[in-house]
Amino acid sequence: MKRKTLYFFAWCLLLLSSCTAKDARQASYDDVVRYCDGKIHLTMSQMSCHDSMPRNLQGDATAWNLRANTPMEWCSGFWDGCLWYDYALTGDTDVLQAATETASSMLYLSNAPLFDHDLGFLTITSLLNGYRLSPDSLTQSVYREALLSCADSLALLFNPKVGTLLSWPRNVEIFGGHNTIMDNMINLELLFWAAAETGRQDLFEMAVSHADTTMAYHFRPDGTCYHVAVYDPQSGAHLRNCTHQGYADESVWARGQAWAIYGYTMVYRYTHAERHLLMAEKAADAYLRLLNAQTGVSHEPSASSDYVPYWDFCDPAIPNAPKDASAACVVMSALLELQQYADEAKADEYKKAIDKTFASLVADYRTADTCPAILAHSTGHHPAGSEIDYSIIYADYYFLEALYRMKIR
């Protein structure tokens, strides 16, 4: 055979194999979307009203444990968010109707007394997603008004002396001051969004101040973060760092680290300030370093391929400690955005981490056919003995968000 003909056949083979690999990836993505859509429909069939929302379930239970839809229940918006993303992924109009009805049940928040920083989680997941994904402009404008009013309400938690939002007004005495938790970074999106919609510089500056102050006092030099920072509410002085949901004050609570990565990536989307991008990358690099060390040191062959963190990277019970799929989902969704801002080498590293996380979740964290949750094995509040190794609604929410980000990127 002539050399030219050989080259031609080799090129055809290469093309064929790369097409097959791409098709296989696409097929697995489509299968996962179908799997999630099945779970969403199963949950929809179990929901009779919006007074309460799915929160968690244990093992392969066939129904969610519900919690009352109130400002005190920080997870109330996630189910609506799951519906919005499922609608965006499938175009199913039954799901759109369910998403719209559920969002209506969140509108009361615009007139409700402010409870705490979780007003951001409650409204970003439900109304802000609805504002972005609903095809109906009238519905969008109703959500917009409610969101702007909620942003004003959230801004009341800002202490200008400290430079951050107070996370838990009810816990000022317990913590001995103005407490700010890493989770609070997520809620800044409501302020940034409202500032961008209205041109309100005050809201923008509050959010930037919160991000910068948190950057100064909430991180260790290696990029890992504390869960809580406590400040003197009068002088604004930083008093101490501690944990609430992690193993110890100096440990690395996996979901706290995930909130940091997600938070600074989102902040950079609005500020375009290099320091925020660098913070997001530093937090992500610390997480991946710990995760790689964790999988690398394990002697169990199955654990070495599991790219989902233990609930706290420092729990001495590892490898017999529970995992936290929710942290993996938050990070996967964040990295899908961060890789767009990062340079080529880092983007490549993040892409590999996304692929490994996705593969682990799909292989080992799906639930039984009769279970309405998408993913198993999350950990909510380990020190309180609550939701250890459960399916939790926010894991499903960030998993669906990641699928949506994969679709639009």
Q: Active-site positions?
A: 118, 183
What is the DSSP track for 99-147? Answer: HHHHHHTTGGGGTSPP--TTHHHHHIIIIIHHHHH-S-HHHHHHHHHHH
Applying CB under 6 A, what is the total number of residues that bind ligand GLY?
Answer: 5
In angstroms, what CA-CA distances link 284 with 14, 82, 332, 401?
A: 34, 25, 10, 18
Instruction: CB nearer to ligand GLY: give 134 or 357.
Output: 357
DSSP state of 321: S
Distance of CA 172 to the CA centre of its chain: 26
Considering the complex, state which of residue 74 and residue 358 has its C-beta at the smaller distance from ligand GLY. Answer: 74
Helical axes 3-46 vs 93-104, angle rounded to 10°: 50
Helices (H), 134-240: 137-155, 172-175, 184-198, 201-217
For residue 255, state whether it binds ligand GLY (rule: CB under 6 A): yes
Q: Would you count residue 189 as binding ligand GLY (CB under 6 A)?
A: no
Residue nearest to ligand GLY (CB): 183
Nearer to ligand GLY (CB atom), residue 80 or residue 183: 183
> Which of 170, 172, 201, 168 is closest to 187 using CA atoms?
168
Helix then strand count (H, E) for the chain reads 15, 9
**Local structure of residue 108 (DSSP, 8 states):** G
Q: What's the min distance (Å) between Cβ of 245 and ligand GLY?
A: 6
Which residues 6+ apart lie within 8 Å of 188 measured at CB? 120, 165, 207, 210, 211, 263, 266, 267
CB 207, CB 215: distance < 8 Å = no
CB closer to ligand GLY out of 204 and 398: 398
Residue (55 or 282) nearer to ligand GLY, CB: 55
CB nearer ligand GLY, residue 144 or residue 178: 178
Distances (CA, A) of 121 to 75, 132, 147, 278, 370: 7, 16, 12, 24, 29
Q: Which of 290, 294, 239 is nearest to 260 (CA)?
A: 290
Q: How far is the CB of 310 from ligand GLY (least distance, A)?
A: 15
Shortest CB 195 distance to ligand GLY, Å: 23
Q: Which of 273, 276, 310 is nearest to 293 (CA)?
A: 310
Q: Which of residues 67-96 bind ligand GLY (CB under 6 A)?
A: 74
Work out how close the CB of 91 gets to ligand GLY at its nearest, in angstroms, rounded to a whole number. 31
Q: Fill in the amino acid letter for 278.
A: L
With respect to ligand GLY, which residue has the nearer C-beta, 160 or 383? 383
CB of 284 to ligand GLY, least distance (A): 18
327-386 binders of ligand GLY (CB under 6 A): 380
Please state whether the peptide bond connecting residue 319 to the residue before it is cis, i.e. omega within 30 degrees of 0: yes
What is the three-class DSSP state of 232? coil
| Length of the chain (residues) | 409
Shortest Å, Cβ 38 to ligand GLY: 27
Which one, 270 or 397, has the nearer CB to ligand GLY? Answer: 397
Q: Does 144 bind ligand GLY (CB under 6 A)?
A: no
At 56 the three-state DSSP class reads strand
Nearest distance in Å: CB 141, ligand GLY: 30
Ranges within 16-75 binding ligand GLY (CB under 6 A): 74
Asked if residue 183 binds ligand GLY (CB under 6 A), the reply is yes
CB of 321 to ligand GLY, least distance (A): 17
Whose CA is closest to 157, among 149, 147, 167, 146? 167
| Secondary structure class of 158 (helix, strand, coil) | strand
Cα distance between residue 43 and residue 200, in whole Å: 39
What does the alpha-carbon distance between residue 56 and residue 294 come to, in Å, rounded to a whole number? 27
Residue 212 binding ligand GLY, by CB under 6 A: no
Residues of this chain that bind ligand GLY (CB under 6 A): 74, 183, 245, 255, 380
